[in-house]
Amino acid sequence: MTENTAPSYPVQRTDAEWRELLTPAEYAVLRQAGTERPHIGEYTNTTTKGVYSCRACGAELFRSDTKFGSHCGWPSFYAPLAEDRVEYVEDNTLGMKRVEVRCANCGSHLGHVFEGEGYDTPTDQRYCINSISMRLTED
């Protein structure tokens, strides 16, 4: 039996390194699983074509063509760029049963995924992602 049960991600940094690399606001969301206030994120209503990458490690996570207007206050996608780009973790905090979405490359918190809400999208899933967890590179 090994003592180390923490998931190992391709990108590994110490907490001190993350604090140096990220702004305090980015750190609070990406590394402490915080949530941006709704409707304030820079990408909430963005329709610019491009690729959304992890702000912590640069891994490409979502494409603009799966982004849709959910009106929930956060950028919403119906699918990741590829299933292996993200990791799912059961989240039972705040008295809710949710599924957390993390970057599979560095383990940083991105947001949550919800399904069966009735949105008219190909998957009926809503990846509700914090703007501050991503960086948009225009096509």
Q: Tell me if residue 103 is catalytic.
A: no
Nearer to Zn ion, 76 or 105 (CB): 105
Residue 55 or 126 with smaller CB distance to Zn ion: 55
Cα atoms in the Cβ-side hemisphere of radius 13 Å centred on 24:
0
Nearest approach, Cβ of 124 to Zn ion (angstroms)?
Answer: 26
- How near is the Cβ of 9 to Zn ion at its closest, in Å? 8
Size of the site for Zn ion (CB under 5 A): 8
Smallest separation (angstroms) from Zn ion to the CB of 106? 3
Strands (E), 5-138: 50-54, 60-63, 76-77, 86-91, 98-103, 109-115, 125-129, 134-138
> What six digits make up the tokens of 38?
């709704």
Please tell me whether residue 106 binds Zn ion under the rule CB under 5 A: yes
Interacting residues of 95 by C-beta distance below 8 A, sequence separation 6+ = none
C-alpha to C-alpha distance for 19 and 35, rounded to whole angstroms: 17
Binding mask 10-39 for Zn ion (x = CB under 5 A): ------------------------------
Question: Quick one: which of 22, 54, 86, 128 contacts Zn ion (CB under 5 A)?
Answer: 54
Name the residues annotated as catalytic.
128
